[in-house]
Structure 1
Amino acid sequence: MPRTSTVLDFKVQGAVILSAYPIHLQLKDRPAVVIGGGKVAERKTRSLLDAGAVITVISPVVTSAIQSWVGEGRVIWKNKTFQRDDVKDAFLIIACTNDRSVNGEVYEACNGRQLVNIADDPEKSTFTVPAVLHRGRLCLSVSTSGASPGLSKQIVERLESEFDESYEEYLEFLFTARKRILGAESDPIRKKQLLSQLLDARFAELTKQREMKERNRLLNRLISEGKLDT
Protein backbone atom coordinates (compact mmCIF):
# COMPACT_ATOMS: atom_id res chain seq x y z
CA MET A 1 0.00 0.00 0.00
CA PRO A 2 1.23 3.57 -0.59
CA ARG A 3 2.76 5.55 2.22
CA THR A 4 0.46 7.79 4.22
CA SER A 5 2.64 10.89 3.94
CA THR A 6 5.57 12.19 1.97
CA VAL A 7 7.69 15.25 2.75
CA LEU A 8 9.44 16.70 -0.28
CA ASP A 9 12.10 19.30 -0.87
CA PHE A 10 10.31 22.65 -0.90
CA LYS A 11 6.88 21.21 -1.59
CA VAL A 12 4.29 23.96 -1.28
CA GLN A 13 1.37 23.01 0.95
CA GLY A 14 -0.86 26.05 1.17
CA ALA A 15 1.42 28.86 2.34
CA VAL A 16 3.98 26.53 3.93
CA ILE A 17 7.17 25.43 2.17
CA LEU A 18 8.63 22.22 3.57
CA SER A 19 12.31 21.45 3.17
CA ALA A 20 13.77 17.95 3.05
CA TYR A 21 16.14 16.97 5.84
CA PRO A 22 19.62 16.27 4.40
CA ILE A 23 21.32 13.16 5.80
CA HIS A 24 24.06 10.68 4.88
CA LEU A 25 22.81 7.11 5.25
CA GLN A 26 24.93 4.23 6.49
CA LEU A 27 23.92 1.42 4.12
CA LYS A 28 26.59 -1.17 4.85
CA ASP A 29 24.98 -4.64 4.71
CA ARG A 30 21.51 -3.11 4.31
CA PRO A 31 19.24 -4.69 1.66
CA ALA A 32 18.62 -2.39 -1.31
CA VAL A 33 16.53 -3.16 -4.38
CA VAL A 34 16.94 -1.41 -7.74
CA ILE A 35 14.11 -1.91 -10.21
CA GLY A 36 15.46 -1.27 -13.70
CA GLY A 37 18.51 -2.33 -15.65
CA GLY A 38 19.50 0.62 -17.82
CA LYS A 39 22.08 3.38 -17.46
CA VAL A 40 20.20 5.11 -14.64
CA ALA A 41 19.98 1.82 -12.74
CA GLU A 42 23.69 1.31 -13.37
CA ARG A 43 24.55 4.69 -11.81
CA LYS A 44 22.32 4.03 -8.81
CA THR A 45 23.77 0.55 -8.35
CA ARG A 46 27.33 1.87 -8.53
CA SER A 47 26.61 4.38 -5.77
CA LEU A 48 24.97 1.72 -3.61
CA LEU A 49 27.99 -0.54 -4.10
CA ASP A 50 30.25 2.27 -2.89
CA ALA A 51 28.04 2.51 0.21
CA GLY A 52 28.33 -1.21 0.96
CA ALA A 53 24.66 -2.09 0.47
CA VAL A 54 23.46 -5.61 -0.35
CA ILE A 55 21.94 -4.99 -3.77
CA THR A 56 19.33 -6.84 -5.78
CA VAL A 57 18.54 -5.64 -9.31
CA ILE A 58 15.14 -6.51 -10.78
CA SER A 59 15.01 -6.32 -14.58
CA PRO A 60 14.73 -8.62 -17.62
CA VAL A 61 17.72 -6.82 -19.16
CA VAL A 62 20.72 -5.12 -17.52
CA THR A 63 23.78 -3.21 -18.73
CA SER A 64 27.15 -4.87 -19.19
CA ALA A 65 28.46 -3.11 -16.08
CA ILE A 66 25.69 -4.59 -13.93
CA GLN A 67 26.36 -7.98 -15.50
CA SER A 68 30.02 -7.71 -14.52
CA TRP A 69 29.09 -6.90 -10.90
CA VAL A 70 26.79 -9.91 -10.90
CA GLY A 71 29.65 -12.06 -12.20
CA GLU A 72 31.89 -10.76 -9.40
CA GLY A 73 29.26 -11.67 -6.82
CA ARG A 74 28.71 -8.05 -5.81
CA VAL A 75 25.12 -7.76 -7.06
CA ILE A 76 22.17 -10.15 -7.18
CA TRP A 77 20.29 -10.01 -10.48
CA LYS A 78 16.75 -11.33 -10.81
CA ASN A 79 16.12 -11.67 -14.53
CA LYS A 80 12.41 -10.94 -14.39
CA THR A 81 9.76 -8.26 -14.40
CA PHE A 82 8.81 -6.55 -11.15
CA GLN A 83 6.45 -8.18 -8.66
CA ARG A 84 5.25 -6.78 -5.33
CA ASP A 85 7.14 -9.33 -3.24
CA ASP A 86 10.45 -8.14 -4.72
CA VAL A 87 10.58 -5.21 -2.29
CA LYS A 88 8.97 -6.65 0.84
CA ASP A 89 12.28 -7.07 2.72
CA ALA A 90 14.12 -4.05 1.32
CA PHE A 91 15.43 -1.21 3.46
CA LEU A 92 15.92 1.08 0.45
CA ILE A 93 14.20 0.92 -2.94
CA ILE A 94 14.95 2.74 -6.19
CA ALA A 95 12.55 2.47 -9.13
CA CYS A 96 14.21 3.67 -12.33
CA THR A 97 12.63 1.83 -15.23
CA ASN A 98 11.57 3.62 -18.41
CA ASP A 99 7.97 2.59 -17.75
CA ARG A 100 6.03 4.96 -15.46
CA SER A 101 3.38 2.33 -14.82
CA VAL A 102 5.99 -0.10 -13.47
CA ASN A 103 7.49 2.63 -11.31
CA GLY A 104 3.98 3.32 -10.04
CA GLU A 105 3.57 -0.35 -9.15
CA VAL A 106 6.77 -0.16 -7.12
CA TYR A 107 5.37 2.81 -5.23
CA GLU A 108 2.15 0.95 -4.47
CA ALA A 109 4.09 -2.09 -3.21
CA CYS A 110 6.15 -0.14 -0.67
CA ASN A 111 5.22 0.45 2.94
CA GLY A 112 5.65 3.55 5.06
CA ARG A 113 8.79 2.24 6.78
CA GLN A 114 10.87 1.88 3.62
CA LEU A 115 13.06 4.48 1.94
CA VAL A 116 11.81 4.85 -1.62
CA ASN A 117 12.99 6.81 -4.65
CA ILE A 118 10.82 6.86 -7.77
CA ALA A 119 13.16 8.31 -10.38
CA ASP A 120 10.50 9.89 -12.59
CA ASP A 121 8.15 10.98 -9.80
CA PRO A 122 9.83 12.81 -6.88
CA GLU A 123 6.45 13.50 -5.26
CA LYS A 124 6.12 9.77 -4.58
CA SER A 125 9.65 9.54 -3.16
CA THR A 126 10.68 9.63 0.48
CA PHE A 127 14.16 10.72 -0.60
CA THR A 128 15.91 12.24 -3.58
CA VAL A 129 19.47 11.57 -4.71
CA PRO A 130 21.64 14.70 -5.00
CA ALA A 131 24.54 15.30 -7.35
CA VAL A 132 27.67 14.32 -5.43
CA LEU A 133 31.40 15.03 -5.49
CA HIS A 134 33.62 12.60 -3.57
CA ARG A 135 37.19 13.35 -2.54
CA GLY A 136 38.04 10.52 -0.17
CA ARG A 137 36.39 11.36 3.15
CA LEU A 138 34.99 14.58 1.70
CA CYS A 139 31.50 14.34 0.25
CA LEU A 140 29.81 17.40 -1.27
CA SER A 141 26.14 17.03 -2.16
CA VAL A 142 24.10 19.45 -4.28
CA SER A 143 20.33 19.43 -4.69
CA THR A 144 17.92 21.79 -6.42
CA SER A 145 14.97 20.05 -4.75
CA GLY A 146 13.94 18.52 -8.06
CA ALA A 147 13.80 21.87 -9.87
CA SER A 148 16.79 21.20 -12.13
CA PRO A 149 19.00 18.11 -11.75
CA GLY A 150 21.08 19.48 -14.62
CA LEU A 151 21.98 22.57 -12.60
CA SER A 152 23.01 20.37 -9.67
CA LYS A 153 25.39 18.56 -12.01
CA GLN A 154 26.80 21.87 -13.30
CA ILE A 155 27.45 23.11 -9.77
CA VAL A 156 29.27 19.89 -8.89
CA GLU A 157 31.42 20.30 -12.02
CA ARG A 158 32.40 23.78 -10.83
CA LEU A 159 33.25 22.43 -7.39
CA GLU A 160 35.55 19.81 -8.92
CA SER A 161 38.18 22.44 -9.72
CA GLU A 162 37.99 24.16 -6.33
CA PHE A 163 38.07 20.90 -4.38
CA ASP A 164 40.57 19.01 -6.51
CA GLU A 165 41.99 15.53 -5.97
CA SER A 166 44.49 16.81 -3.39
CA TYR A 167 41.59 17.08 -0.95
CA GLU A 168 41.56 13.31 -0.54
CA GLU A 169 45.08 13.42 0.96
CA TYR A 170 44.26 16.65 2.79
CA LEU A 171 41.29 15.04 4.58
CA GLU A 172 43.45 12.08 5.61
CA PHE A 173 45.97 14.54 7.04
CA LEU A 174 43.25 16.41 8.95
CA PHE A 175 41.85 13.14 10.28
CA THR A 176 45.25 12.01 11.60
CA ALA A 177 46.24 15.45 12.89
CA ARG A 178 42.95 15.89 14.73
CA LYS A 179 43.47 12.56 16.49
CA ARG A 180 46.96 13.68 17.54
CA ILE A 181 45.64 16.93 18.98
CA LEU A 182 42.78 15.24 20.81
CA GLY A 183 45.19 12.73 22.32
CA ALA A 184 47.89 15.24 23.24
CA GLU A 185 45.82 18.08 24.70
CA SER A 186 43.46 17.81 27.67
CA ASP A 187 42.59 21.48 28.16
CA PRO A 188 39.30 22.07 26.25
CA ILE A 189 40.01 25.72 25.44
CA ARG A 190 43.50 25.04 24.10
CA LYS A 191 42.20 22.00 22.24
CA LYS A 192 39.59 24.15 20.50
CA GLN A 193 42.25 26.71 19.56
CA LEU A 194 44.54 24.05 18.09
CA LEU A 195 41.74 22.48 16.05
CA SER A 196 40.81 25.89 14.71
CA GLN A 197 44.40 26.60 13.64
CA LEU A 198 44.59 23.17 12.03
CA LEU A 199 42.32 24.59 9.32
CA ASP A 200 44.90 27.21 8.36
CA ALA A 201 44.99 27.42 4.55
CA ARG A 202 48.71 26.61 4.50
CA PHE A 203 48.04 22.98 5.36
CA ALA A 204 45.79 22.56 2.32
CA GLU A 205 48.24 24.39 0.06
CA LEU A 206 51.24 22.36 1.25
CA THR A 207 49.26 19.19 0.61
CA LYS A 208 48.42 20.36 -2.90
CA GLN A 209 52.09 21.15 -3.56
CA ARG A 210 53.13 17.75 -2.13
CA GLU A 211 55.29 19.50 0.48
CA MET A 212 54.61 16.90 3.16
CA LYS A 213 57.76 17.50 5.21
CA GLU A 214 57.00 21.19 5.56
CA ARG A 215 53.37 20.41 6.34
CA ASN A 216 54.40 18.00 9.11
CA ARG A 217 56.91 20.51 10.49
CA LEU A 218 54.12 23.07 10.69
CA LEU A 219 51.84 20.59 12.45
CA ASN A 220 54.53 19.64 14.98
CA ARG A 221 55.10 23.31 15.76
CA LEU A 222 51.38 23.84 16.23
CA ILE A 223 51.07 20.93 18.68
CA SER A 224 54.25 21.71 20.64
CA GLU A 225 54.03 25.52 20.75
CA GLY A 226 50.34 26.13 20.23
CA LYS A 227 50.89 28.41 17.25
CA LEU A 228 51.94 28.44 13.62
CA ASP A 229 54.75 30.31 11.91
CA THR A 230 53.85 33.90 11.20
Structure 2
Amino acid sequence: MKRIVTAVAIAALLVSAGVVLYSQQGPGGQPGPNMPPGTGRGGTNTGMMGMGMRSTPTAMSALTPPFIIFNPRGQEQLNLTEEQKTKLTAAMETYRKATTDTKVVESIEKARKALRDALLSKSTTTEEFASLISAARSADKPILDAQIALWNSIRTILTTEQLKSLQQMNMTPGGGFGGGNRGTTGAGGGMNRNMGPGGGGMNRGMGPGPTNPDGTPPPPMDE
Protein backbone atom coordinates (compact mmCIF):
# COMPACT_ATOMS: atom_id res chain seq x y z
CA MET A 1 0.00 0.00 0.00
CA LYS A 2 2.81 2.39 0.88
CA ARG A 3 4.39 1.88 -2.54
CA ILE A 4 1.08 2.59 -4.25
CA VAL A 5 0.70 5.83 -2.30
CA THR A 6 4.24 6.83 -3.25
CA ALA A 7 3.63 6.12 -6.94
CA VAL A 8 0.44 8.19 -6.88
CA ALA A 9 2.28 11.02 -5.15
CA ILE A 10 5.02 11.05 -7.76
CA ALA A 11 2.48 11.06 -10.57
CA ALA A 12 0.63 13.98 -8.99
CA LEU A 13 3.86 15.93 -8.66
CA LEU A 14 4.60 15.39 -12.32
CA VAL A 15 1.17 16.66 -13.31
CA SER A 16 1.43 19.83 -11.22
CA ALA A 17 5.04 20.66 -12.00
CA GLY A 18 5.75 18.63 -15.11
CA VAL A 19 7.28 21.46 -17.10
CA VAL A 20 9.90 22.09 -14.46
CA LEU A 21 10.80 18.42 -14.19
CA TYR A 22 11.14 18.09 -17.94
CA SER A 23 13.26 21.18 -18.38
CA GLN A 24 15.49 21.30 -15.33
CA GLN A 25 18.32 19.37 -16.94
CA GLY A 26 20.48 20.38 -19.85
CA PRO A 27 23.57 18.64 -21.23
CA GLY A 28 26.94 18.61 -19.49
CA GLY A 29 27.88 17.52 -16.00
CA GLN A 30 26.57 20.07 -13.53
CA PRO A 31 23.15 20.16 -11.85
CA GLY A 32 20.89 23.13 -12.20
CA PRO A 33 17.45 24.00 -13.60
CA ASN A 34 17.10 24.85 -17.27
CA MET A 35 20.81 25.09 -17.93
CA PRO A 36 22.03 25.62 -21.51
CA PRO A 37 24.28 23.08 -23.28
CA GLY A 38 27.56 22.45 -21.54
CA THR A 39 26.33 23.53 -18.12
CA GLY A 40 23.65 21.03 -17.18
CA ARG A 41 23.29 17.26 -17.12
CA GLY A 42 23.72 15.01 -20.10
CA GLY A 43 20.30 13.45 -19.84
CA THR A 44 17.29 13.27 -17.62
CA ASN A 45 16.12 9.75 -16.88
CA THR A 46 12.58 9.48 -15.63
CA GLY A 47 13.44 5.91 -14.65
CA MET A 48 11.11 3.10 -13.76
CA MET A 49 8.91 3.50 -10.75
CA GLY A 50 8.72 0.70 -8.24
CA MET A 51 5.37 -0.29 -9.76
CA GLY A 52 6.99 -0.86 -13.17
CA MET A 53 5.44 2.37 -14.50
CA ARG A 54 6.95 5.24 -16.42
CA SER A 55 5.95 8.79 -15.57
CA THR A 56 3.42 10.26 -17.98
CA PRO A 57 4.57 13.40 -19.82
CA THR A 58 2.35 16.45 -19.43
CA ALA A 59 0.99 18.50 -22.32
CA MET A 60 3.02 21.49 -21.16
CA SER A 61 6.23 19.51 -21.56
CA ALA A 62 5.98 20.53 -25.23
CA LEU A 63 7.45 23.85 -24.07
CA THR A 64 10.78 22.20 -23.30
CA PRO A 65 13.33 24.24 -25.28
CA PRO A 66 15.04 22.55 -28.25
CA PHE A 67 18.50 22.55 -26.69
CA ILE A 68 19.86 20.73 -29.72
CA ILE A 69 20.00 23.99 -31.67
CA PHE A 70 22.46 25.41 -29.15
CA ASN A 71 25.21 22.89 -29.90
CA PRO A 72 27.42 22.64 -33.00
CA ARG A 73 25.79 19.45 -34.29
CA GLY A 74 22.31 20.91 -34.25
CA GLN A 75 23.43 24.21 -35.69
CA GLU A 76 25.18 22.43 -38.54
CA GLN A 77 22.06 20.36 -39.27
CA LEU A 78 19.98 23.53 -39.45
CA ASN A 79 22.66 25.37 -41.45
CA LEU A 80 22.52 28.39 -39.16
CA THR A 81 24.28 31.61 -40.11
CA GLU A 82 26.73 33.28 -37.73
CA GLU A 83 24.18 36.01 -37.12
CA GLN A 84 21.55 33.45 -36.15
CA LYS A 85 23.99 31.72 -33.80
CA THR A 86 24.78 35.02 -32.09
CA LYS A 87 21.10 35.85 -31.62
CA LEU A 88 20.32 32.38 -30.30
CA THR A 89 23.18 32.60 -27.81
CA ALA A 90 21.78 35.88 -26.49
CA ALA A 91 18.28 34.40 -26.24
CA MET A 92 19.59 31.39 -24.33
CA GLU A 93 21.50 33.62 -21.92
CA THR A 94 18.31 35.54 -21.16
CA TYR A 95 16.51 32.24 -20.62
CA ARG A 96 19.27 30.93 -18.38
CA LYS A 97 19.22 33.99 -16.17
CA ALA A 98 15.44 33.84 -15.78
CA THR A 99 15.33 30.16 -14.91
CA THR A 100 18.30 30.09 -12.56
CA ASP A 101 17.24 33.13 -10.57
CA THR A 102 17.70 32.24 -6.90
CA LYS A 103 14.24 33.40 -5.87
CA VAL A 104 12.59 31.39 -8.65
CA VAL A 105 14.52 28.22 -7.83
CA GLU A 106 13.86 28.52 -4.10
CA SER A 107 10.16 29.22 -4.67
CA ILE A 108 9.81 26.12 -6.86
CA GLU A 109 11.62 23.91 -4.36
CA LYS A 110 9.54 25.23 -1.46
CA ALA A 111 6.27 24.63 -3.32
CA ARG A 112 7.40 21.20 -4.50
CA LYS A 113 8.36 20.08 -1.00
CA ALA A 114 5.13 21.38 0.52
CA LEU A 115 3.06 19.57 -2.09
CA ARG A 116 5.01 16.34 -1.73
CA ASP A 117 4.69 16.37 2.05
CA ALA A 118 0.96 17.01 1.78
CA LEU A 119 0.50 14.15 -0.67
CA LEU A 120 2.11 11.77 1.81
CA SER A 121 0.05 12.94 4.77
CA LYS A 122 -3.34 11.47 5.66
CA SER A 123 -4.34 14.69 7.43
CA THR A 124 -4.21 16.89 4.30
CA THR A 125 -7.66 18.24 3.47
CA THR A 126 -9.03 18.75 -0.03
CA GLU A 127 -8.91 22.52 0.47
CA GLU A 128 -5.28 22.42 1.61
CA PHE A 129 -4.34 20.22 -1.31
CA ALA A 130 -6.03 22.59 -3.80
CA SER A 131 -4.18 25.54 -2.27
CA LEU A 132 -0.83 23.77 -2.57
CA ILE A 133 -1.52 22.84 -6.19
CA SER A 134 -2.27 26.49 -6.93
CA ALA A 135 0.95 27.56 -5.18
CA ALA A 136 2.97 25.02 -7.19
CA ARG A 137 1.54 26.32 -10.46
CA SER A 138 2.32 29.89 -9.45
CA ALA A 139 5.89 28.90 -8.58
CA ASP A 140 6.28 27.27 -12.00
CA LYS A 141 5.02 30.33 -13.90
CA PRO A 142 8.43 32.06 -14.29
CA ILE A 143 9.76 28.89 -15.92
CA LEU A 144 6.80 28.71 -18.28
CA ASP A 145 7.16 32.39 -19.16
CA ALA A 146 10.89 31.96 -19.85
CA GLN A 147 10.26 28.93 -22.04
CA ILE A 148 7.62 30.75 -24.07
CA ALA A 149 9.89 33.78 -24.47
CA LEU A 150 12.74 31.56 -25.69
CA TRP A 151 10.47 29.82 -28.18
CA ASN A 152 9.28 33.21 -29.48
CA SER A 153 12.91 34.20 -30.02
CA ILE A 154 13.65 30.92 -31.79
CA ARG A 155 10.63 31.33 -34.08
CA THR A 156 11.76 34.85 -34.94
CA ILE A 157 15.40 33.92 -35.57
CA LEU A 158 14.91 30.73 -37.62
CA THR A 159 13.51 30.64 -41.13
CA THR A 160 10.36 28.70 -41.99
CA GLU A 161 12.43 25.90 -43.52
CA GLN A 162 14.70 25.74 -40.48
CA LEU A 163 11.68 25.47 -38.19
CA LYS A 164 10.38 22.59 -40.29
CA SER A 165 13.75 20.86 -40.01
CA LEU A 166 13.82 21.48 -36.26
CA GLN A 167 10.41 19.87 -35.94
CA GLN A 168 11.84 16.64 -37.34
CA MET A 169 15.04 16.64 -35.30
CA ASN A 170 15.12 14.13 -32.47
CA MET A 171 11.63 14.67 -31.13
CA THR A 172 11.21 12.78 -27.86
CA PRO A 173 7.97 11.02 -26.84
CA GLY A 174 7.50 13.63 -24.12
CA GLY A 175 7.07 16.38 -26.68
CA GLY A 176 10.47 18.01 -26.13
CA PHE A 177 13.51 17.99 -28.36
CA GLY A 178 16.47 15.70 -27.74
CA GLY A 179 20.10 16.05 -28.60
CA GLY A 180 22.03 14.42 -25.78
CA ASN A 181 22.59 10.78 -24.90
CA ARG A 182 19.69 8.72 -23.67
CA GLY A 183 19.69 7.89 -20.00
CA THR A 184 19.58 4.36 -18.69
CA THR A 185 16.46 2.86 -17.22
CA GLY A 186 16.42 3.21 -13.46
CA ALA A 187 16.02 0.15 -11.28
CA GLY A 188 12.62 0.18 -9.52
CA GLY A 189 12.56 2.88 -6.94
CA GLY A 190 11.38 6.10 -8.45
CA MET A 191 12.95 8.96 -10.32
CA ASN A 192 16.48 8.29 -11.53
CA ARG A 193 18.61 11.05 -13.03
CA ASN A 194 21.35 9.95 -15.36
CA MET A 195 24.71 11.70 -15.31
CA GLY A 196 25.56 11.33 -18.95
CA PRO A 197 28.38 12.91 -20.93
CA GLY A 198 27.82 16.41 -22.26
CA GLY A 199 25.32 16.27 -25.06
CA GLY A 200 23.17 18.75 -26.91
CA GLY A 201 19.96 18.52 -24.97
CA MET A 202 17.83 16.72 -22.50
CA ASN A 203 16.31 13.30 -23.10
CA ARG A 204 14.04 11.18 -21.01
CA GLY A 205 15.84 8.00 -20.01
CA MET A 206 14.42 5.40 -22.33
CA GLY A 207 17.50 3.41 -23.22
CA PRO A 208 18.34 -0.12 -22.12
CA GLY A 209 19.10 -0.73 -18.49
CA PRO A 210 22.55 -1.37 -17.03
CA THR A 211 24.36 -4.53 -18.11
CA ASN A 212 26.95 -6.85 -16.62
CA PRO A 213 30.58 -6.68 -17.88
CA ASP A 214 29.84 -9.52 -20.30
CA GLY A 215 26.96 -7.58 -21.83
CA THR A 216 24.15 -9.60 -20.26
CA PRO A 217 21.40 -7.85 -18.29
CA PRO A 218 21.53 -8.07 -14.49
CA PRO A 219 18.96 -10.18 -12.64
CA PRO A 220 15.73 -8.37 -11.71
CA MET A 221 15.70 -6.59 -8.38
CA ASP A 222 13.38 -7.78 -5.67
CA GLU A 223 10.20 -5.75 -5.42
Which structure is higher in helix share?
A: 2
Where relative contact order (Cα < 8 A, 6+ residues apart) is larger, the structure is 2
The answer, yes or no, to whether TM exceeds 0.5 is no
Q: Of the two, which has the highest radius of gyration?
A: 1
TM, length-normalised to structure 2: 0.24
